[in-house]
Amino acid sequence: MTIVNFTPWPALIGGALIGLAAAFLLYAKGRIAGISGIAGGVIYPESKGDIGWRIVFLVGLVLGGLLYQLTGFGAGVEHIQAVVSKPWLIAGGLLVGIGTQIGSGCTSGHGICGLARRSPRSLVATLCFMGSALLTVFVTRHLLGAA
């Protein structure tokens, strides 16, 4: 396997910005920066005053990606295409959504914010989804022979 787009500096800067954003949200609002929880709060708000910051956060995620592409830092990423049909992508998205509800959070909430807070539940969740990912890659690449 050859890594064609290894970009350590943008990755380091991006990781630092994610950490700063998560710390700021925890400090400013007392909230965890788990994307499924933030998005879920837009769909099922706890209170009317709780929706605004969630929408701004989600719009910022999209605009940040667009800005990254428009500035040229994302050069070479535009060729990425899904290797499965749209129904499989939709099914996968629905399964991820169901999994975040069952697991009481997503990879960002547990893996970044939960581990930083030393949450035992987040450690178990992170070990489960990382283990599942490793098993999936092993099965698809070595047992099923997919590229």
**Angle separating helix axes 86-102 and 35-43, nearest 10 degrees:** 90
Cβ count within 10 A of residue 128: 13
- Assess contact for 89 and 82: CB atoms under 8 A: yes
Query: What average pLDDT does range 19-33 have in this prediction?
Result: 89
3 φ, ψ to 5°?
Answer: -85, 115
pLDDT of residue 97: 84
pLDDT per residue as tens digits for the range 99-147:
888 888 888 888 888 888 899 999 999 999 899 999 998 998 888 876 6
Token couple for 66: 């667009």
User: At CB < 8 A and 24+ separation, what contacts does 88-95 make?
Assistant: none
The conformation of residue 76, written as its DSSP 8-state character, comes to T
pTM (whole model) above 0.95: no
pLDDT for res 67: 87
Contacts 24+ apart (CB under 8 A), 40-49: none
Q: What is the mean pLDDT of residues 39-67?
A: 87
